[in-house]
Each structure stands twice: as structure tokens, then as C-alpha cells.
Amino acid sequence: MAFRWFRRRPAPAPDPIAAYDDLVSDLSGEAAELRRAAVTLLTVRTRLGRELAGSEQVARTLHERSDRARAGGDPRAADVLSADAAREDTRATALREELARTEADVEQLEQAARRVADQVDRLRSERELAAARLTAGTALATEAMRSRADRIRRLVAVDAARDEIERAHALAEVWREDES
């Protein structure tokens, strides 16, 4: 019996609304992280676009100079300029591929962020509905318990009155017997 104090009390029932709030909070954080990643990639995409435009411009300039050198009778300068132009073309091709991958990644991140945000909106609506139902259900249960308690109190009062009436009858019966 002395160890009864050391027993663990049962855990309180989990709050269903708190479960909604936890999930909404987690998903909101995830959506924010997805948006941050998408913004980072948009920045990278802008930088890659500028580098690609610059590389293409440099390649065009080198091709033009190579053509002028070849037309001017300087094959060695034309070859060097052509090799430089080919390197810039290769770099521009790599930048185009990286830009295409980045754009695809941005699109996927944006779609994922939209899906998670939609899920958060649905969960918030569902949470509000659940909170309203829980409040209404709690109010109904409280009223039912109050009504039941009131009914039980009245039944106990009626039983007590019956007992009092029976005692009064018994006492009257005892008095009648004593007078006789």
C-alpha cells in the first residue's frame, strides 16, 4: 500500500487539436524550407543566365576575330582564336545544361512547395472544423452529464423521500400498536 504513491499515473489523453497544430507547424516549416531552396535556385538560375549570355557574347567575339584574322592572312592567330572560341562554346553548352537542370529543379521545388502549402491549408481548415466539433461535442457531453447528474440527484431525492415516508408509516404503525 505504501508503494501506491510511486505508481505512475496514466498519461493524460492526447489533445487532438495539439496534434493538428504540431503537424501544421511541421508542414509549414517544410514549405518554408522548400521556398527558400527554390529562391536559392532562382538566384543560381539568374547567375547562370548572365554567365551564359556573357559566354555566348565572348564566343561570338572570338569567332569574329578568328574570321578577321583568317581573312587578314594570320592563320596562327586565327587558330588560337578558334580554339578559344571552341572552349567558350563548350563552356556555354555546359552552362545551358546546368541552366536546364536548375530550371527543372526550381519547377520541382515550386510544385512541392505548392503541394505542401495546399496540404497545410487543408489541415488548417480541418483543424478548425475539428476544434468546432470538439467544442460542440464537449458542450453536448457536459450538458448530457449535467442532465444525467441532475436526474440522478432527483432520483436520489425521491428515494430519500420514499424512505422518509416509509419511516413515518413505520413510526405511525408503532404508535398505533402502543395505543392499542
Query: Digits of tens for pLDDT over the chain (180 positions)?
Result: 455 556 676 666 577 788 888 888 898 999 999 989 999 999 999 999 999 999 999 999 999 999 999 898 889 999 999 999 999 999 999 999 999 999 999 999 999 999 999 999 998 898 888 888 878 777 777 777 888 888 888 888 888 888 888 888 888 887 777 776
Q: Rounded distance, CA 126 to CA 134, Å?
A: 12
Cα–Cα distance list, 168 to 156, 160, 164, 171, 174 (Å):
18, 12, 6, 5, 10
pTM of the entire predicted model = 0.60
- Matching residue, cell 592572312: 73
pLDDT at 63: 93
DSSP SS3 for 102: helix
In the numeric block, the cell 504540431 is attached to 22
**pLDDT computed for residue 17 by the predictor:** 81
Q: For residues 78 and 67, give the distance between their C-alpha atoms in angstroms, rounded to a whole number.
A: 7
> Which residues lie below 8 Å from residue 48, measured CB to CB, with a gap of 6+?
95, 98, 99, 102
Nearest to residue 63, comparing CAs of 45, 83, 85? 85
What are the distances in angstroms from CA 67 to CA 19, 30, 83, 87, 160?
71, 54, 12, 16, 118
How is the chain split into domains, by residue range? Answer: 15-138
Cell of 123: 489541415
